[in-house]
Amino acid sequence: MATVAEPMLAHKHEPEENYLTCSSGFLSWAMTLDHKRIGVMYLFAVTASMLLGGVFALLVRIELLTPDKTLMDHNTYNHMFTLHGAVMVFLFIIPSIPAALGNFILPVMLGAKDVAFPRLNLASFYLWVAGAIFFLMAIAMGSLDTGWTFYTPYSSSVISGSQAGGIVAAVFGAFILGFSSIFTGLNFIVTVHTLRPPGMTWFRMPLFLWALYATSVIQLLATPVLGITLLLLILERTLGIGVFDPALGGDPVLFQHFFWFYSHPAVYIMILPAMGIISELIATFSRRHIFGYRFIAYSSIAIALLGFLVWGHHMFTSGQSPLATVIFSALTFTVSIPSAIKVFNWLATMYKGSISLATPMLYAQSFIFLFTIGGLTGLFLGTLAVDIHLHDTYFVVAHFHYVMMGGTLIAFLGGMYYWWPKITGKMYNELWGAIGCLMVFVGFNLTFFPQFMLGSQGMPRRYYTYLPHFQGYHVISTIGALVLGTGIGVALATLLWSLWTGRKAPANPWGGVTLEWTCSSPPPLANFEKTPTVGDPYDMEQVKWDAKTESWIPRPVSERTGNSASH
Amino acid sequence: MLPIQTALPLCEMLAGDVFFPQQASTIAPGVDKLFYFIFWVCVFFFVLVVGFMTAFLLKYRRKENFDASGPTHNTLLEATWSVLPFFIVCYMFYEGVIGYMDLRSAPESAYEIKVRAKKWAWEFTYPNGYSTNELHVPPNSPVSLLMQSDDVLHSLFIPAFRVKMDVVPGRYTKLWFDATVPGKYDLECTEYCGEKHSEMLAIVTVHNDRSEFDAWLAKASDVFGPVDRGEKTLAQVGSELALRKGCGQCHSIDPQKSKKTGPAWWGIFGEDHQFVDGTSAKVDENYIRESVLKPTAKVVKGYGGNMPSFAGQLKDREIDALIEYIKTLK
């Protein structure tokens, strides 16, 4: 195999310069067209957004410690949960894995020098920044209280000056962020189609790339609908054109259809890349060829397509027709199957593996545990008779946090730990990495598991005050949130600390066989000196452990048995 | 202090059904049964997934063996775990639809109560035209609610009955139930509607039998009877009206004049009010009447003008009673 010589070479002569050291100064970052630097800027920006959204979440949880006022008044609480949702969804979860980790990893994993349109890539980052500025404006005006869903007519009936301004600013921010998302999606689709090196056929692409590709398709097709909807909302608010507000002759349920036509596929924008990361982590840390590669790849595409057809399940109690409700329920159940397939495939990949419990794998195991709960509790909500009772209660809150946070955030942290040595060239402390993961896992379950019972007992969402008999579960949940917040702090601090104290990372610390592990850590500006050629992305025999350098090195062809990649 | 306060309600909750409040309607047992069917299916799959995960973690933990090999696919196995869940979810779908159809099809004979939702109060109007902020129903007979909203989206949820439906401005929505157990139950708004969303609550009273319900309705509807018979003053009736119409959600009546969404009522009669448009006026009978019927005509400085109009909902004599009541607040 032709690839073998090059990584060996990379080991012997580490390139003098990498993408971090090849140039310096503010402008070298601000005007960079390098996908890796753009990825790092995104990583910094979305992580900061996550912390901001996390602070709002903690304030919400602390307020809910007692049935009446704990810290803040009604309006402040309503601002807090709105900002928590809006910041987490629009500024963090949607761009987290695709724009931050995806930007860095996709071209390297693909064996390309950059994305297809580097300038568009930088433009999408600055659009993100512009959108974020509008969000900060809305926060500064202190008046965004519509919930992240901006439901009409609450959001479209002008109540007073600054409130109106805050809502318009946030909606416009979300509109701009949509374009950022569209540009990234477009860029990734073209990159995957046109920049694959010789030998990288569609079915030799790592599953993370399949996941990013499926995600990009959704971003490209669904986000414009959100843009149009938000624009109509702004027009209604500012010019009084009746679209959604019944007082002006509009229909509020129409807004829900438009909104969820984007926002439900957006759930898959959030979870598909996370599933992609988990496929990589499980294979690498089990030293096993991924089980059922084609089923996982196809299930990503199936989820992306079916995801467009289920938006109505957010509206089972909204007054949409019973026939539509029944059809949406049926379609909703079809999405559960490809998700289940992935979980079974990950388990089968661990079978007969050689499993290392390094921190990224701990996150992958947490993901399977939490995502299984998140996915299974979706069955209650897809079942119509049961959903009517659970709709808009804490059961739903618990369910989507298990999927979005237990899924996407956990995978994001796992991916960060996995690719951190590649991105920064530093190894983090394994013990502290594991402690952080454990705290996140325990804190997460403490926070959100009680919310299932709260919800089915009848505690509605978005409540500032609540009936006293709900307090017990709320106290457990708040304590959990504090543990969870601390855990995330430990996890991030462990990574940052490694920048100063971490030992230098080898090219391949984990034994991964996808292409990013064949270039040095951190990679040189152009990623690869020669266009690499490609084999099976999960043929673990391509590398072996080298105790001397404490890293994985290419295994000469003569030592290979050919068993691990047998089909 | 906190743990003791919280431990008690938690114990009470755990002593009953972990997931559900009391079953108090004809459809509740079916919903709970379906919930628990799905619950045990979930427990089975969760134990399966986490069990295999744990077993593999223990058995195949990396020791000396830095290499591993095993099957990379198995079409029969993969087809099985794709198709088997399909049949299970088909069954869930089917049961869910059957239950949903029952929930959404009110019997012809149902007793109809009209519901009007507004920020942040419920108003229930009975067939004889009497309206109040409490929902009273007879037991063991179907009751249907014909609902509309004055302002934004709301949603009516009675956990003990397992029913919920959004209340949408600009159209009617319907909901029905057949209450089985006499008692008092919580009714909550479950669609976010602004500042006091969490206080948009009401009590549902299921009477012991039909005649008790009829007697309650007859007595409650006789609003001015006690005044005519000299048993109550007009101001007393006004104070009951204020309670029933949910005025207190936005207007405080305590001597401290605590600040709510609208101006406090204490000592208001005869005061001068400054308005947002710069004009001012004295609070008298005509001003109060106008504020009830056309709330946005004069908005007091420092307030948002959130109040919905009560035109067509309050009769002249009821407005008289409210004015008399406000006069007594000093």
Report CA-CA distances (Å) from A313 to A146, A308, A462.
21, 12, 19
Are A385 and B96 in contact (CB < 8 Å)?
Answer: yes
| Position A158 confidence tier, pLDDT thresholds 50, 70, 90 | low
The tens digit of pLDDT for each residue in A266-299 reads: 999 999 999 999 999 999 999 999 999 998 999 8
As a residue count, chain B comes to 330
pLDDT at residue B9 is higher than 80: no
* Superfamily in which the A2-13+23-558 domain is placed by CATH: Cytochrome c oxidase-like, subunit I domain (1.20.210.10)
Question: 3-state class of A543 per DSSP?
Answer: strand
**What's residue A461's pLDDT?**
95
| Position A2 confidence tier, pLDDT thresholds 50, 70, 90 | very low
**What's residue A456's pLDDT?**
95
Hey, which residues 377-436 in chain A have their CB within 8 Å of chain B?
A: 377, 379-380, 382-389, 391-393
Q: Where are the domains of chain A?
A: 2-13+23-558
**What's residue A193's pLDDT?**
95
Of A299, A295, A280, nearest to A516 by C-alpha is A280
Asked if A462 has any chain B CB less than 8 Å from its own CB, the reply is yes
CA–CA min distance B228, chain A (Å): 40
Identify the DSSP state of A3. Answer: G
| Position B11 confidence tier, pLDDT thresholds 50, 70, 90 | low
**What's residue A23's pLDDT?**
87
Q: What are the structure tokens assigned to A518, written together?
A: 């064949």
Are B73 and A567 in contact (CB < 8 Å)?
Answer: yes
pLDDT at residue B244 is higher than 70: yes
Of B80, B287, B282, nearest to A345 by C-alpha is B80
| Position B8 confidence tier, pLDDT thresholds 50, 70, 90 | low
- Asked if A315 contacts A256 with a C-beta cutoff of 8 angstroms, the reply is yes
- Asked if A540 contacts A280 with a C-beta cutoff of 8 angstroms, the reply is no
**What's residue A5's pLDDT?**
41
**What's residue A566's pLDDT?**
43
**What's residue A12's pLDDT?**
46
CA–CA min distance A9, chain B (Å): 24
Which residue of chain A has the CA closest to B149?
A246
The mean of the pLDDT values for chain B is 89
The mean of the pLDDT values for chain A is 90
The tens digit of pLDDT for each residue in A163-196 reads: 667 788 888 898 999 999 999 999 999 999 999 9
pLDDT at residue A4 is higher than 90: no
Complex ipTM value? 0.91
Cα–Cα dist B111/B125, whole Å:
12
Are B192 and A462 in contact (CB < 8 Å)?
Answer: yes
The tens digit of pLDDT for each residue in B153-210 reads: 999 999 999 999 999 998 999 999 999 999 999 999 999 998 899 999 999 999 999 9
**What's residue B304's pLDDT?**
77
pLDDT at residue A14 is higher than 60: no
**What's residue A154's pLDDT?**
85
Hey, which residues 85-144 in chain B have their CB within 8 Å of chain A?
A: 85-86, 89-90, 92-93, 95-104
Proportion of chain B above pLDDT 70, given as a percent: 95
**What's residue B1's pLDDT?**
39
Of A1, A2, A36, A7, nearest to A518 by C-alpha is A7
| Fold of the CATH domain B111-221 | Immunoglobulin-like (2.60.40)
Average pLDDT over residues A413-420: 97
Are A379 and B192 in contact (CB < 8 Å)?
Answer: no
Average pLDDT over residues B116-132: 92
CA–CA min distance A128, chain B (Å): 28
Asked if B189 has any chain A CB less than 8 Å from its own CB, the reply is yes
The tens digit of pLDDT for each residue in A17-33 reads: 888 888 888 899 999 99
**What's residue A235's pLDDT?**
85
Class of domain B232-328: mainly alpha
Residues 6+ apart with CB under 8 A from B131: B116, B123, B124, B125, B244, B313
Which residues in A17-44 are b (16+ Cβ under 10 Å) and which e?
Answer: ebbbeeeeeeeeeeebebbbbbbbbbbe
Q: Where are the domains of chain B?
A: 14-56+73-104, 111-221, 232-328
Query: Quick one: angle between helices A103-110 and A35-63, nearest 10?
Result: 140
Higher pLDDT, A501 or B223: A501
The tens digit of pLDDT for each residue in A309-349 reads: 999 999 999 988 999 999 999 999 998 898 999 999 999 99
The tens digit of pLDDT for each residue in A53-74 reads: 999 999 999 999 999 999 999 9
Are B73 and A294 in contact (CB < 8 Å)?
Answer: yes
| Position B13 confidence tier, pLDDT thresholds 50, 70, 90 | low
Question: Taking the alpha carbons of A124, A126, A131, A136 in that order, is the dihedral positive or negative?
Answer: positive
Higher pLDDT, A483 or B10: A483
pLDDT at residue B149 is higher than 70: yes
The tens digit of pLDDT for each residue in A123-155 reads: 999 999 999 999 888 888 777 888 888 888 888
Average pLDDT over residues A32-39: 95
**What's residue B14's pLDDT?**
54
Are B168 and A318 in contact (CB < 8 Å)?
Answer: yes
